[in-house]
């Protein structure tokens, strides 16, 4: 029985022989404290519980002694909290705002939810941050085992330029990781791999990463790594809104497939040639394959792997063209109206398709929109584009991989130009007076002129180029092509 200061009964409970006093409420002994206070949720059908029962719906690291003051080692409190939630078969572990010092790896082996109070754009501002104070090359959080339903969100990890990795994952499925900021790692921000031998059940698959920031200026640090083996690999995962500020590589994909990357931005802190590296394991039996990127700001180097696709290779900030080595395949659709054009003479080793979409005034380039298919290892290039003035579709074929040697232009009136054996054939109303031309080029007249020669009539069908250069003098650079048309 619980009474107010006036002696009126405000709460009773069966089985209690005497009225509860302040010492009972302050006690943590079984049946005392919060077990003496009732709780009733609002809403029809709600049932009464004690405050003790209500409070145990979730866990908090402070319940196990964590301070979050930036100086106390809170590792033991975190390990005890994780063990309690795991023993319960799962649940939610809250981490309040503060800086929590961690000196040894926090290992998660069950489908638990760990939620912080948020991570801020300025790492030292309010929010939840875990700061490493352990051994060099250590791992802050390791999620391991063929488990489902892991959720991590709303906190930052500061590797303190000591820990090797911020987050390491091995063989999870149907899990979610979002609103995370990992900083100052030595080896990698997020490392995903598989160690199982049971096939698909040991893959890292159907997981989502959202709103992730990875930042490190340590030389050799890799932002996000995906690695597989012959018996299991990272596949069918989704990465959305990921920003990586890196010293070495932002993304390293090795033996993984069917992963989706959306809105990926790579910001280099050192002058490295590539941001995204697509490769295979040392035995080269497998590679990064059938991975999909939707808007990528970063430079790709594909050394192996097939059928990787990029829809929206962002070139607004001057990204270089991808490099595709022999044996690799990469489909790229570029974007960026303000980007400098990629020249069409660049040799692309391997297979590459892309939309340029940028103006290019070179004589042998398509202006302004280009779809290209390259097969550099065979020395061949196919390019199709749409020209604005005149409106026509132009196609190019290169047989040596260095530049267009044959081309074809088509308008609504028919074939407007073509190049055969390196010689251009086009049409005009009069002999050209400008432009640079090659010996053997032909300009067909759209308004053939008639005249006489001796006893017969002739028609000037066009002009054939006799010199290479920009001179345009009749009977020197251009000879008229004539034919007899009758007497």
Number of domains in the chain: 3
Which DSSP category does 453 fall into?
E
* Highest averaged pLDDT of the listed ranges 159-163, 396-400, 429-433: 159-163
* CATH code assigned at 179: 2.160.20.10
27 pLDDT band (50/70/90 cuts)?
Answer: low
The answer to whether residues 48 and 81 belong to one domain is no
Instruction: Give domain status of residue 368, yes or no.
Output: no
H/E segment holding residue 470: none
Give yes or no for a contact between 241 and 210, defined as CB atoms under 8 angstroms apart: yes
Rounded (10°) CA dihedral 317, 323, 324, 325: -160
Same domain, 100 and 41: no
- Which pLDDT belongs to residue 391? 60
Using one digit for the tens of pLDDT, what is the confidence trace for 452-487? 555 557 888 899 999 999 999 999 999 998 887 765
Residues 17 and 70 placed together within one structural domain of the fold: no
Q: Which pLDDT band, with edges at 50, 70 and 90, does 88 fall under?
A: very high
Cis amide linkage into residue 48, ω under 30° from 0: no
Residue 370 falls within a domain, yes or no? Answer: no
Q: Indicate if the alpha-carbon torsion angle 47, 48, 50, 51 is positive or negative.
A: positive
In a domain, 349, yes or no: no
Range in 10-24, 129-143, 320-334, 412-426 the model is least confident about: 10-24
Closest CA to 446 of 467, 465, 432: 432
Residue 408: how many other CB atoms lie within 10 Å: 18
Q: Give the whole-angstrom CA distance, residue 446 versus residue 434.
A: 18
Question: Averaged over 232-240, what is the pLDDT?
Answer: 94
Pair of tokens at residue 483: 């034919």
| pLDDT of res. 284 | 47
Residue 225 lies in a domain: yes
Residue 356 lies inside a defined structural domain of this protein: no
Clarify whether residues 45 and 64 are in a common domain: no
- In tens, the pLDDT along 303-356 reads 877 778 888 888 777 777 788 777 777 777 766 655 554 443 333 333 444 444
Q: Examine residue 175 and state whether it is found in any structural domain, yes or no.
A: yes
CA angle 220, 226, 230 (to 5 degrees): 125
Domain extent at residue 92 = 59-340
Residue with tokens 């597989």: 228
Report if pTM > 0.75.
no
Of the residues 314, 340, 366, which one is the last residue of a structural domain?
340
Confidence of residue 1 (pLDDT cuts 50, 70, 90): low
User: Could you tell me if 305 and 350 are in contact, meaning their C-beta atoms sit under 8 angstroms apart?
Assistant: no
What would the mean pLDDT of 438-443 be, rounded to a whole number? Answer: 91
Q: Are residues 336 and 427 in the same domain?
A: no
Mean pLDDT of the chain: 79
List the beta bridge partners of residue 144: 170
Helix (H) or strand (E) holding 80: helix 75-87
394 has a pLDDT exceeding 80: no
Q: Does some domain include residue 88? A: yes
Split at pLDDT 50, 70, 90, the class of 20 is low
Domain boundary among 340, 373, 391: 340
Answer whether 175's CB lies under 8 Å from 199's CB.
Answer: no
Clarify whether residues 116 and 255 are in a common domain. yes
124 and 21 housed in the same domain:
no
Rounded CA separation 34/8 (Å) = 20
pLDDT (0 to 100) of residue 451: 66
Tell me how far the alpha carbon of residue 388 is from its chain's centroid: 33
Lowest mean pLDDT among 56-60, 68-72, 120-124: 120-124
- The answer on pLDDT for 365 being more than 90 is no
Q: Mean of the pLDDT values across residues 162-169?
A: 97
Whether 302 and 278 share a structural domain: yes
Do the beta carbons of residue 355 and residue 381 sit within 8 Å? no
Residue 401: is its pLDDT beyond 50?
Answer: no
Asked whether residue 131 falls in the same domain as residue 153, the answer is yes
pLDDT(258) > 90: yes
d(CA 419, CA 177): 55
Task: Indicate whether 71 and 6 sit together in one domain.
Answer: no
Residue 281 lies in a domain: yes
The DSSP bridge pattern shows strands 329-335 and 351-355 to be: parallel
Which of 340, 370, 386 corresponds to the end of one domain? 340
Closest CA to 332 of 362, 286, 372: 372
Dihedral angle of Cα 269, 272, 273, 278, to the nearest 10 degrees: -90
One domain for residues 328 and 277: yes
Contact 300, 275 (CB under 8 A): yes
Note whether 45 and 84 are same-domain residues.
no
pLDDT-above-90 percentage for the chain? 41
């Amino acid at each position: 029985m619980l009474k107010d200061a006036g002696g009126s009964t405000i709460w009773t409970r069966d089985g209690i022989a005497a009225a509860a006093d302040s010492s009972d409420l302050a006690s943590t002994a079984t049946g005392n404290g919060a077990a003496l206070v009732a709780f009733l949720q609002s809403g029809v059908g709600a049932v009464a519980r004690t405050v003790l029962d209500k409070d145990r719906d979730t866990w908090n690291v402070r319940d196990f002694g964590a301070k979050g003051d930036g100086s106390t080692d809170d590792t033991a409190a975190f390990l005890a909290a994780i063990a309690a939630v795991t023993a319960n078969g799962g649940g939610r572990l809250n981490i309040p705002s503060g800086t929590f010092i961690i000196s040894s790896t926090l290992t998660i082996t069950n489908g638990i939810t760990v939620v912080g109070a948020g991570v801020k754009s300025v790492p030292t501002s309010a929010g939840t941050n875990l700061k490493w104070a352990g051994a060099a090359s250590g791992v802050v959080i390791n999620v391991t085992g063929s488990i489902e339903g892991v959720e991590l969100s709303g906190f930052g990890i500061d590797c303190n330029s000591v820990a090797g990795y911020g987050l390491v994952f091995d063989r999870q499925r149907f899990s979610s990781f979002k609103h995370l900021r990992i900083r100052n790692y030595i080896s990698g921000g997020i490392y995903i791999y598989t160690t199982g031998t049971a096939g698909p059940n040991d893959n890292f698959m159907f997981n989502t990463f959202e709103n992730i920031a990875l930042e490190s200026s340590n030389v050799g640090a890799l932002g996000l790594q995906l690695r597989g083996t012959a018996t299991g690999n990272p596949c069918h995962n989704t990465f959305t809104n990921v920003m990586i500020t890196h010293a070495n590589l932002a993304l390293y994909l090795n033996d993984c497939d069917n992963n989706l990357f959306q809105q990926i931005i790579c910001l280099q802190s050192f002058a490295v040639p590539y941001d995204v590296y697509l490769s295979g394991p040392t035995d080269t039996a497998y590679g990064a394959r059938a991975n999909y990127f939707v808007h990528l700001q970063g430079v790709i180097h594909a050394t192996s792997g097939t059928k990787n696709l990029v829809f929206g290779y962002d070139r607004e900030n001057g990204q270089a063209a991808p490099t595709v080595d022999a044996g690799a395949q990469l489909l790229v659709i570029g974007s960026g109206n303000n980007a400098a054009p990629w020249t069409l003479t660049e040799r692309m080793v391997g297979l590459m398709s892309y939309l340029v979409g940028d103006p290019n005034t070179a004589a042998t380039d398509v202006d302004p929109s280009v779809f290209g298919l390259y097969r550099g290892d065979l020395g061949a290039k196919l390019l199709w584009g749409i020209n604005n003035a005149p409106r026509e579709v132009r196609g190019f074929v290169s047989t040596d991989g260095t530049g267009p040697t044959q081309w074809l232009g088509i308008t609504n009136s028919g074939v407007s130009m073509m190049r055969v054996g390196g010689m251009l054939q086009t049409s005009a109303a009069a002999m050209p007076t400008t432009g640079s031309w090659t010996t053997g080029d032909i300009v067909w007249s759209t308004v053939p002129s008639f005249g006489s020669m001796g006893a017969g009539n002739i028609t000037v069908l066009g002009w054939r180029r006799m010199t290479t250069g920009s001179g345009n003098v009749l009977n020197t650079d251009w000879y008229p092509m004539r034919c007899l048309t009758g007497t």
